[in-house]
Amino acid sequence: MSNQQSSYTSFSSSSFTTSSSSDGGPPRTQSYTETANYDSRTGGNITRESRETGQPTLTETRDIPAQGRVGAATGADTSRRIEDVTDADQAERDRQYEERMEDEYAKREGGA
């Protein structure tokens, strides 16, 4: 009985693109591509690219060792994390708007 170790190679790729326009302006296009290469003897990688009109292309690559465990991301742009950009005065404007709406509804109910 021989102790042969089987190996395999795989490749996959997927992508999509969306385009939309608001207010009759120029279309805004977003695209996303993911490509995975893997060989059970040498390992591989997964590469993800996302593009948006007027923005730089973001590329992230993850290495996959031959054992199959996913490694840490390399080349990931952490400067584009989501951050809170709430306007400090927005809560006050929201409160004033709600008061005006309540007054308007009260006028309509009383005048009917």
pLDDT of residue 85: 63
Per the confidence metrics, is the pTM higher than 0.85?
A: no
110 band by pLDDT with thresholds 50, 70 and 90: confident
* Cα Dmax for the chain: 94
Note the pLDDT of residue 2: 47
Residue 37 and residue 73: Cα distance in Å, rounded?
A: 15
In the numeric block, which tokens belong to residue 99?
């008061």
What does the pLDDT look like over 1-49, one tens digit per residue? Answer: 445 566 778 878 888 888 887 777 778 888 989 999 888 888 888 899 9
Rounded-to-integer distance, Cα 59 and Cα 48, Å:
6
- Residue-wise pLDDT for 69-104, tens only, equals 555 555 555 555 666 666 767 788 888 989 999 988
Per residue, what are the HEC states of 57-82?
CEEEEEEECCCCCCCCEECCCHHHCC
